[in-house]
Amino acid sequence: MTRTVLLADDHRIFRDGLRPLLETRGGFTIAGEADNGFDALELCRTLNPDLAVLDISMPGLNGIEVTRRLKQEAPEVRVIILSMHSDRRFVLEALKAGARGYVLKDAGFNELLTAALAV
């Protein structure tokens, strides 16, 4: 079974790094990529990925707002938030919005992979 992922981060180099890792080490297929929250939401609506990996800080809509809207519009899409913020408030807000995971950007790839496989 192929699991599809939408990657959304406003830094292309970050997406370019995650794509091959998720595809080769995680067995995921990258369904699409977005560099802002509005595009991420629209791609989730049209592509219906199994998982959306969303940066918390994106232009337009932030990752938490995209998550909140997805919970209403496409609740089957599971979300992992990527963030540089370790403050408990951000984690709780993301989980309350409907995220299934929260991974710090300074974590190793294995943490993201473990989270992606778990959700």
Split at pLDDT 50, 70, 90, the class of 2 is confident
Alpha helices in the chain (DSSP H): 12-26, 37-47, 63-73, 88-97, 109-118
DSSP letter string, 5-19: EEEE-S-HHHHHHHH
Per-residue pLDDT of 43-56, as tens digits, reads 999 999 999 999 99
Six-digit token string for 11: 């830094």
DSSP letter string, 92-109: HHHHHHT-SEEEETTS-H
pLDDT of amino acid 18: 94
Per-residue pLDDT of 62-112, as tens digits, reads 999 999 999 999 999 999 999 999 999 999 999 999 999 999 999 989 999
DSSP 50: S
